[in-house]
Structure 1
Amino acid sequence: MAEPSRPATTPRIWQVGALCRAIADSLEARFNPVAVRGEISAFTAASSGHCYFSLKDQQGQIRCAMFRRAAQLLEFRPREGDSVEVLGRLGVYEPRGDLQLIVESMRPAGQGALYEQFLRLKARLEAEGLFEPGRKRPVPVLPRGIGIVTSPGAAALHDVVTALRRRACHVPVVLAPAAVQGAQAPGELVQALQALYRLAQAGTIDVILLVRGGGSIEDLWAFNDERLARAIVASPVPLICGVGHETDFTIADFCADLRAPTPTAAAELAAQARETWLEGLAAVQERLDRAVARRLDLSGERLDQAASRLGRPLARMAAQQARLGRAAHRLRFAVHRRLEADTRRFMALDVDLQGVARERLRRGADALERARLRLDLLDPRLVLQRGYALLADASGKPVTSVARVHAGQPLVASVADGDIPVTVTRPCNPS
């Protein structure tokens, strides 16, 4: 007797969404996080900031997505055909059931040693405070001069000069040439900056642009030099760094007062467009014109109101002239009357002064006469008129004592009407 047939095992029936989630969970448990190396293909940067591309090699490819938060942290700009190493998580895009890799970080493949060196230097300088936002200075709104450090043959110089001519052709520009790639580049860049620093201290320039076009991490490595970083921090004026493309970051970018995504953008940040200032001046002029017009309108209204209050100007003017005439007549009369009063007062004072002068003269004459009489009483000639004589020796000295003469001495006896010569016969002794 034949054995009864067993029913075949029926597989579990999945909902599509549930199967996608189950696959995603399996991938999460088995692989994530995962690091992948491959070549970028079909790279697209969306306006949202998200990036979409594929990683491929000779054996296969996988779709990748990098969301804006992770894309903003990139230190370089991914390009078609770049060989990169990414770190991310495998998952399933359920609406289409596609396997995709959500990329959380990316770096160029084969450049791991340089990148690690870059990160170590960045961390050390950041710990020293060289990247502190507090030490960043604002770019002057109206620079007196702009210094540029770059290679004379670089396309970046042409872009910067073109932008400055377009935006601020009146601002002087000074070029300090230096190599921007190679082993000698860091030293030349430092020397060029120091030359511009001397001009800045002299007041010739007040903003500096350090610029270079894009390239690989090796091409831009000169801008990751510690000597250059410290020279940038020592700048006496604001320094704008515009090295590489928007996604390229160097140590110089972190040390500069302001980072520009491109050399052209650095020039635009250093000098506002001439048209902007002209538009601002035009706006100010328009406001001034409106203000003057309003003031004139108000003044016109006030003039009209004043004219209405004046009524007939000629009649008002005639009345004012009549008032002025009366005031002038009163003034002339008052002056004339004042002059007459002053004249009378001066005449009275003159009479008084003449009387005082005559009295003073009379009193002086009387005093003089009394003095003359006293002098006359002291005149020795009056004594001689009474019979007295004045004896004097030959030298004219008066003889006042018998002891001062001797026998035979000639003397002169002065009487009232003349002199009599005499000779001493003998002196008489006083009794």
Structure 2
Amino acid sequence: MVNNPYIYTISEITSKIKLILEGNLHNIRVMGEISNLVIPASGHVYLTLKDNYSQIKMVIFRSKANLLRFNLQDGLMIIAHGEISVYEKRGEYQLIADHIEPAGYGELYLAFEQLKEQLRIEGLFSEAHKKPLPMVPNRIGIITSPTGAAVQDILNIITRRFSNIEILIYPVMVQGETAPSDIANAISQMNRLPDTLLPDVLIVGRGGGSIEDLWAFNDERVARAIFDSDIPIISAVGHECDFTIADFVADLRAPTPSAAAELVVKNKRELVERIEVLSIRLRHAIQKDLDLIAHRLKRLKESSALLRADYTVLQYQQRVDEITLALSLSVSNLTKLTLARLETITGKLNTLNPSAILSRGYSITFKLPEETVINNANQVKKEDRIRIHLHKGEVIAEIRDIGEECTQINQV
């Protein structure tokens, strides 16, 4: 006979169990393997967390599930933080989780690998989708923070190599919650510009930082915006050792923002040398074809079959004359076309040459001591020192007066 005479109802004993469990297990971490994962339209997550011997039901409410940076899946080992809750109506207990992290992996690393694999399967990294960069861009778009060192590095290199290339800067946040949507929207907006403003190439990037700082460039929205862009895109995120999802999707990856500027704007001397190399190769190819044709003609003339019959010789000679004339015209036309293309490219380079512009009376004015190019009177104030670069020589001057049509300076 049991000594305790009290008899509990089901509700009473369930309430007592609830009080004991919830009172003692309210700030716990549990590790296990996900199974029976269900995510209904409500957005709440229901699953079973198990090990080799036991299992427990677990719930992640939508407000917490939306904060996850990686995808839950059956078979994934996780560590869940939360509290035990008793569902009195069924007499069941479950774990209410408020934070999840992958066991054995960093949360961001797992999210990175999951998205990388998903986009790879979809073909966003395929070389077949990579667009070539223009040889000489007329207009370059830059999507980055307007206050970071990256934009200054890019501008300095582009101005030094080709100072008259037009540059469009679309300022965005490069880290923080709004950064991914800012960057994706900027890429989309650049692609919608009219032809008169449309860039030939885009540089999208920022300076280095931690994985959290660079995380905007691992966002799916940014990756898909890069893939959908009709304008070729160079990704320039972080330092040489930093890789992001944007790097894999972009048409070209640059290890740093400075390297991106060097890739998109070739040095003028390099362009001239490249044209000369192509010209030499073209001449050699034409000469090789001419030598081969001449050799074949010689063999035809010396053929014993031709020597046996005068009539046959005349027929072949006529055919040889026709071929020779056609080849001569073809080679002449090809040579003229090639020279015309070379003259066009050379003329374009000469037009873009800053020295040629300066020789026509123009000048470039730099604000001292920053050495920034001045193209608006609003950039200077009285008593500012400036350096004026002329066709021959330089002038150091001081601003004495500023107006909308005239800025008075004194030479120093």
What range describes the TM-score normalised by the shorter chain of this pair?
A: 0.3 to 0.5
Q: Normalization by structure 2: what TM-score?
A: 0.41
